[in-house]
Chains A and B, each alone.
Chain A
Amino acid sequence: MDFQQAGLSRRHALKAGAFAAVASLLGAKLAFADEKTVADELKKLYGDKPFAAGKIKLDVPEIAENGLVVPINIEVESPMTDADYVKAVHVYADGNPLPGIVSYSFTPACGKASAATRMRLAQTQNIVCVAEMSSGALHMAKANVKVTIGGCGG
């Protein structure tokens, strides 16, 4: 299962089709990450420490325009001083072949803990974002991104 090929095979199989059926074209037989895979990754990093809500603004589209290029913008509320700053941010997806998306290291020199990149999403799934503060406090935010076949809008 691969993201780029998803695009290719889709165009291939449904060259003439108005509606591509995403999941079936993704092969669907291959293993995907799930909620547990993401939880396992978090456990590796932080053991059983709890995550608080709040502080994280996770900005992803409700519906992906292109599963191969989905913008993600995160911002974590913090004064970003030497005494109190965001050390790390980890982003996971629970429906991709592999759960990891990106991990960021921030320093107080950033001024604000905000970063944006673009990711591949194989299907509709949840994005999980955790932030580790310099105090050791942990925060988590989740968002669902819908990957649709499109068309028919009018």
Chain B
Amino acid sequence: MSTKPTPRVRVPAKAAAGEMIEIKTLISHEMESGQRKDAKGETIPRKIINKFSASFNGKPVFSADWHPAISANPYQSFFFKAMESGEFTFTWKDDDGSEYTAKNKLTVG
């Protein structure tokens, strides 16, 4: 029923040194809470993305542990102080063990 989760990220391509940039991310995912029952009254097993993390040039920047109360198609935004050019890696971890990633380059100067 569900299609493969697709991440989307909005990061400015360029920033001035020292500039605070906002990073916005979205991923398509039903975030099945594990609290719902199906038509037969059986609990639908939990299946959520439980962790989102962001790193820059391999160094961790920010992470979020999501609980089942996070809405479907989870959105996460946060900030980053641009100091040097490099690449972001964004990772979403699914309850089923899958990992989804996105990479974005940032040029500073």
Contacts and interface: CB of A to CB of B under 8 A. Distances in A.
Direct contact of A and B (CB under 8 A): yes
Interface of A: 1-5, 68-70, 80, 93, 96-98, 100-107, 109-112, 114-121
Given A5-B36, A5-B37, A104-B64, A109 B69 contact: no
B78 A2 contact: no
A13 B36 CA distance: 17
16 contacts: A1-B35, A2-B33, A2-B35, A68-B71, A98-B67, A102-B66, A104-B64, A107-B59, A109-B81, A109-B83, A110-B61, A110-B62, A119-B69, A119-B70, A119-B71, A120-B69
Pairs of residues from A and B, 8 with the lowest C-beta to C-beta distance, nearest first: A111-B81, A2-B36, A100-B67, A2-B35, A118-B71, A103-B65, A115-B78, A116-B77
A110 B35 contact: no
Given A96-B69, A114-B78, A120-B70, A4 B36 contact: yes
